[in-house]
Amino acid sequence: MAKVPTDIEISRAATPLPITEIARRAGVLPQELEPYGDVKAKVKLSILDRLKDRPQGKYIDVTAITPTPLGEGKTTTSVGLTQALGQIGKNVILCIRQPSMGPTFGIKGGAAGGGYSQVIPMEEFNLHLTGDIHAVSIANNLLAAAIDARIMHEDKLSDEQLEKAGLKRLDIDPYNITWRRVVDVNDSALRNVIVGLGGVDDGRPRQTGFDISVASEIMAILALATDMEDMKVRLGRIIIGMSKKGDPVTANDLGITGALTVLMKDAIKPNLMQTLEGQPAFIHAGPFANIAQGNNSIIADKIALKLGDYVVTESGFAADIGMEKFMDIKCRISGLVPNCVVLVSTIRAMKMHGGGPKVVPGKPIPAEYTQEKPEHMELLKKGVCNMVKHIQIAKLFGVPVVVAIGGGFKGDTPEEQAFAVQAAKEAGADAAVISNHWAEGGKGAIELANAVVAACEKPGNFQLLYPDDMPIKKKIETIATKVYGAKGVQFEALAEKQIAAYERWGLGTLPICMAKTHLSISHDPSLKGVPTDFVVPVREVRASAGAGFLYPLLGTMRTMPGLPSRGAFLDVNLDESGNVVGMF
C-alpha cells in the first residue's frame, strides 16, 4: 500500500469549495446562511419552517465495538461512508459533533476523521469553529458566578432589602451546590479548587472544581434542544444545587434563564462545513459520551433529514454507550427513527479483547497488532465475541445492522478479515464488509455504502429499551442486564436517597444516561471481551434536569481530563506562511 500523507497534509492539499456553494448544493437558501469566512457557516433555524412538509431521508447511526484507547475510527468511517454514498450518486449529508480542544492538544488529537476521509479544513474543524464551545463556557460560568454572588449578597442583605431589589431569598446551601465552572482545556489542576478566598467581598469560601466545557449540562442541552424555545425551557430547568431546606434550586429561581438564552442564541444554529470530497457536513454540539449523551444535535439532524436522502451521524464510543443513548435519549426526545446502524470493528480491537497486550496512547503498538503471524489469529478468534455482543446490542432496538471491518491496518491479514466478516454475518448482521476509506476515500467504502443503502430499504421495527413510566431503578437495571449483560445492580445508600428525591420532584419519567467507562462493556475497564457474572455498582445518581436525563455513576468518572507527559500541543505551530502545522 502506498504511504498515506498525514491528515493535515491531506487537508492542506485539498481546495475546499466555497461554503456558499456547499450550501447551494445542499439546498440551503442564501438568506438561510450566515457565512463565517469562506469555508464554514451557520444555518438559520428558519430553514425548518420552509422544509416542514418535505419527506425525511434515511437516518444512519455509526457506532463501534469496545475500542482500544486509540479509538477505532468511527468518525473516519462516518466521513468515508458519506463520501462513498456521494460516489454512488446519493444525496447525502454528514452530521457529527464538534470536538473539544482539550483532547486536540492532549493525547487524542483532532476529531475530523482521518486519511482521505475527513472534514476540511481540519484545523478550522478542530479549533474554534464558530465559537459554540466558547458560548457554552460563558453561559455555564455566568450561571456559576450568579450562584456565588447570590449566596454572598443574601449573607449581607435582609429579606426586606432583597425584596426592594426584586429578589427573594433562595437560601442556597453553599455545601450542596452541584454546578461547576468549565474551561475547554485539559487541566487536572482545576479538578478540585476552593473559591471565595480573600475578604468578605470575595464570596463565601467553598470547595468546588472545573469540568471541561463539553461536559457542561449546557452542552447537553444544546444537543437535545429541538428549537429556541425548547432550549430556553431546558436552560431554566437546570438544577444548580439545593436550598438549606433540601429543595432543588434552578436557573429559573436565579432569574438567569433569559441571559443564558441570549448567550446561546447563535450557538443553537448548526455549523456547515464539507467533507474532503465535497459533501455537506453539519458540525454541531459536542457532549461527552461518558457522562452525557455523546451525540451531535437534534436540530442538525432534523435539518439534514429534510435536505438529504441519506444522513450519516455518529454516536460516541461503542454501542453499549453512545448508540444506546442515541436510541433511548436522542431518538426518544426527537421522535426520529433510525433506518440502519453501522458498527465499526477493527482486527486490532478484537485481538485486544482476545487477550492481546495493552494498547497505550503515545507508545509503540505491540507486535501482536502489527505483525502478520499465524498465532495472532487465535487472539482474534477469542476476541471476536466483543463484536458479536455489540451486534446483539444494536439489534435490541430493531434496526438493521451493517458491520464495517476497518481495512488498511498494518498487520491485518486477508484471512483475519475474512474470519471477522463471517463471524459478523453469523451473529446476525445484515451485512459485513471490509472498508478501506482511510487510504482510498469514498471509493474505498463503496461496498459499505451499497450495503447501507440495501439495509435502509429493509423494514425496521424500532423500539426503545424501556418506557418513560418505568421506575428509575428498573430503567437502570434494564440497561445493565440487557445491554451490558450484568447479572444485577447494586445501589449504594446515596444512590437510593437520590432516586427517592428525584421521584418526589417529578423527575422519574426522565430517561437514563449511564456514566461509565468506554473501555469495557461492563463498569470495570479491565474486563475485556464479553464480561459475565458481574454486578453493576451504582454509587450515585445525578440529575441533568435541564438536558432531560438522570445519570447514574458506575464508577469514578473524570469530567476534567489531564495532559499527558508529552502533549500534542508540543508539535503544533504556525509555519512561515501562517499555516497550522503539527496537528493530527
Cell of 384: 471476536
Q: Which of 409, 491, 534, 549 is catalytic?
A: 409
Q: Answer yes or no: 516 catalytic.
A: no
Catalytic residue among 438, 491, 534, 549: 438
Burial class (CB in 10 A: 0-12, 13-18, 19+), 351: buried
| Residues in Cβ contact with 461 at an 8 Å cutoff, skipping those fewer than 6 apart | 398
409 noted as active-site residue: yes
CA 561 from chain centre, in angstroms, equals 15
**Cα 348 to the chain's mean position, in Å?**
23
Please enumerate in sequence order all residues whose Cβ is within 8 A of that of 284, keeping only pairs 6 or more positions apart, or say none.
95, 97, 98, 132, 222, 223, 270, 271, 296, 297, 299, 300
Q: Which positions ≥6 away from 84 have C-beta within 8 Å?
A: 437, 442, 443, 444, 445, 446, 448, 449
Query: Buried b vs exposed e over 364-373: b needs ≥16 C-beta within 10 Å?
Result: ebbebbeeee
- DSSP tally for the chain: helices H, then strands E: 23, 25
Residue 558 CB contacts under 8 Å (≥ 6 apart), including other chains: 191
Catalytic residue among 288, 317, 419, 491: 317
Considering the candidates 146, 225, 251, 289, report the single residue annotated as catalytic: 289
Q: Pick from 443, 343, 415: which is nearest to 386 by CA?
A: 343
Task: For residue 41, count CB atoms less than 10 angstroms from its CB and return exposed for 0-12, middle for 13-18, buried for 19 or more.
Answer: buried
Residues 6+ apart with CB under 8 A from 54: 306
Q: Pick the catalytic residue from 74, 90, 237, 473.
A: 74
Does the annotation count 3 as an active-site position?
no
Q: Indicate if 76 belongs to the active site.
A: yes
Q: Could you confirm whether 150 is annotated as catalytic?
A: no
**Are the C-beta atoms of 437 and 79 separated by less than 8 Å?**
yes
Please pick, among 97, 330, 475, 516, the residue that the annotation labels catalytic. 97
475 included as an active-site residue: no
Q: Is 293 exposed, middle or buried (0-12, 13-18, 19+ CB in 10 A)?
A: buried
The bridge status of strand 41-43 relative to strand 33-35 is antiparallel
User: Which position among 63, 75, 76, 257 bears the catalytic label?
Assistant: 76
Instruction: Tell me if 133 sits within 8 A of 184, measured CB to CB.
Output: yes
Active-site residue (options: 42, 108, 181, 528): 108
Q: Which residues are catalytic?
A: 74, 76, 97, 108, 289, 317, 409, 438
